[in-house]
Chains A and B, each alone.
Chain A
């Protein structure tokens, strides 16, 4: 379910490489389902410099607010304005239409610190088990 070619953070962002030093990021299916209906996105303006694992925006559902962290350091080159206008896209298609930010990376090697889809799948499973106790 989590795309194989994507990389994942412990904070449930994904990164999809598009070239050597650019890619898109968004929220994972797990994050989306935990938040419930997403109704508001506060994304960084294009041009903003972001640091790996540091806050770059906020995502709000009907019931909760969560910070959006950058999966890698670099510059915001584009945000998904369609999702800003229609935040439900994040619920409907978190890995596609519901992408959030396109980044130009300054240190692509930082991506090695992210999880692959199998490792992320196991990580989410461990969280679900904790939650049910």
Chain B
């Protein structure tokens, strides 16, 4: 049995093609993945992201606690701001990437990926050591979340209350009489907001945005948008078997100053250096690489594709995969075994698509 988001009925009414994602029934596409991708790149699209976990951490020691379990300090994160960071295991493996919002004094909101959410919650509970000054509350099932993304999003009448937010800024606001917690973030490489609402308000919010021309989009479009923008998908491009240096996520790790879970291992990994690294590639031959396909160099298997597909914004077939560090340089030629055929590819900057570029 799949879990259903508060917008499930709406998706079925719109005749969306549904799919299972991390145990949730979610739209794969409404009309066409390419049309939805194009709406987000050229105007405005929206995604039901209610499956993502929303966890409140509050109490006198909440900041101190998050500084212990997250790879970037919340110490200098001002109220009204948010930042991306990681939760790492003691051995430096990545438990997940997440966004932490500083909502009020001693009040934080964590938003992380839907997969393995119990494991991450248990991880937090374990490190909080039942301290009475730390409260951890999972609000995922009590709220909905919609991501509105695209270059025209700021011009929408509904976004008046949010359009002056800086990148990663957030605030409580009203959108056509719907109370939301809005943040200027996203996962598409475009400008936009993520809006959290009550369950009851989710459908009215979706309808209001649709009436303003925002196109409902499914996970299919979301996956190629994030891939074009070179954004990693947790559980697919990295998991606990990869460390942040290998996964290209070292920019989310602050190894100065304070101690945090995994820091000792990460310092050691940094000292020793890594052997493999995630890299972006474009197919120069004919074919589409998919997750799990093998990467070859001079006839030797050297790694695996983690994400791959057609990139409509570029008109090319692209992907991400782990390769030995010495083969990760831009311009390096590799081969990918695509269902029995060797197809040539080349390492490129993994931010394949750049806004306005």
Contacts and interface: CB of A to CB of B under 8 A. Distances in A.
A40 B201 CA distance: 41
A61 B34 CA distance: 10
* Residue of A58, A62, A88 with highest tally of chain B CB at under 10 A: A62
A39 interface: yes
A40 B33 contact: no
B317 A37 contact: no
A65 B308 CA distance: 13
Nearest to B19: A63
B310 A65 contact: no
B160 interface: no
Contacts of B17: 36
Contact of B32 (A37, A40, A42, A58): A37
Contacts of B290: 65
A42 B309 contact: no
A65 B339 contact: yes
A60 interface: yes
Contacts of B29: 36
Interface string A45-80: 000000000000010111101000000000000000
A65 B317 CA distance: 14
Interface in A9-64: 36-37, 39-40, 42, 58, 60-63
Given A40-B288, A42-B286, A42-B287, A62 B310 contact: yes
Contacts of B339: 58, 65
B310 A40 contact: yes
Nearest to A33: B17
Contacts, number: 37
Interface in B2-54: 17, 28-29, 32-34
B224 interface: yes
B220 interface: yes
Contacts of B287: 40, 42
A89 B350 CA distance: 30
Interface in B312-332: 317
Given A36-B17, A36-B220, A63 B33 contact: yes
Contacts of A39: 34, 288, 310
A62 B309 contact: yes
A31 to B, nearest CB: 14
Contacts of A36: 17, 28-29, 32-33, 220
A91 B33 CA distance: 12
Highest count of chain A CB atoms <10 Å: which of B34, B286, B317: B34
A60 B290 CA distance: 11
Contacts of A62: 33-34, 220, 224, 309-310
A61 B288 CA distance: 10
Contacts of A63: 28, 33, 220
A39 B288 CA distance: 9
A59 to B, nearest CB: 11
A63 B27 CA distance: 13
A88 B312 CA distance: 12
Nearest to B290: A65
A58 B286 CA distance: 12
A30 to B, nearest CB: 14
Contacts of A40: 286-288, 310, 317
Contact of A37 (B34, B286, B288): B34
A91 B29 CA distance: 15
A40 B311 CA distance: 12
13 contacts: A36-B17, A36-B29, A36-B33, A36-B220, A37-B33, A39-B310, A40-B317, A60-B288, A62-B34, A62-B224, A62-B310, A63-B33, A65-B288
Of all A-B residue pairs in the complex, the 6 with the closest CB atoms, nearest first, are A39-B310, A37-B34, A62-B33, A37-B33, A37-B32, A40-B288
Given A36-B17, A62-B310, A63-B28, 12 more contacts: A36-B29, A36-B32, A37-B32, A40-B286, A40-B288, A40-B317, A42-B286, A42-B287, A60-B310, A63-B33, A65-B290, A91-B32
